[in-house]
Amino acid sequence: MKRRAVFPGSFDPITIGHFNIVERAKQLFDQIVIAIGINESKKYYHPLEERVNYLKALYKNDPQIEINAYSGLTVDFCKTEDANFIVRGLRSTTDFEYEKNIALFNRQLNPSIETIFLMSAPEYSHISSSIVREILKHGGDAERFIPKPLNSKELG
């Protein structure tokens, strides 16, 4: 049986920190579904279609990665994807406290799905999508924070 994991997020935009978490998670799982969550109450900088296309371009030659968008509960999406794991990256203790509570709720909603936390590599722990969005909004060069083949000119 293949070990499938879901890596959920808004990826608005994907950062080198996200990319690093995916690369490390690939060592643990046969397949990873990068799941772009759709939250109707959230205003995104990049449209969903652009985010999907960016991720598909980034992972186009990687058979271990699938890209999908979803709405609703992550545990329900995991069931549709036949995944028993959720991967979450942690940059700080604040991230841990927030993610721990979500993981506990998810565990109560579906005990067969396990959340796996991966600590951010130290060199990426300060990078967040919200800060990268601010750089882009103000015309700054965010290229060093976005994995290739993407760059800030394509995202801005």
Active-site entry in 10, 18, 51, 88:
18
Active-site entry in 4, 24, 26, 91:
91
Question: Does the annotation count 129 as an active-site position?
Answer: yes
Full strand arrangement of the beta sheet holding 114-119: 65-71, 31-38, 4-9, 85-90, 114-119
Active-site entry in 10, 46, 120, 129:
129
Question: Does the annotation count 153 as an active-site position?
Answer: no
- Cα pseudo-dihedral 72, 6, 64, 69, rounded to 10: 20
Active-site entry in 2, 41, 42, 112:
42
Question: Does the annotation count 43 as an active-site position?
Answer: no
Cα(70)–Cα(65) distance, rounded to whole angstroms?
16
**CB hemisphere CA count around 51 (13 angstroms):** 22
Question: Does the annotation count 18 as an active-site position?
Answer: yes
Cα(144)–Cα(11) distance, rounded to whole angstroms?
16
One-character DSSP codes across 99-142: HHHHHHHHHHH-TT-EEEEEEPPGGGTT--HHHHHHHHHTT---
Active site residues: 18, 42, 91, 129
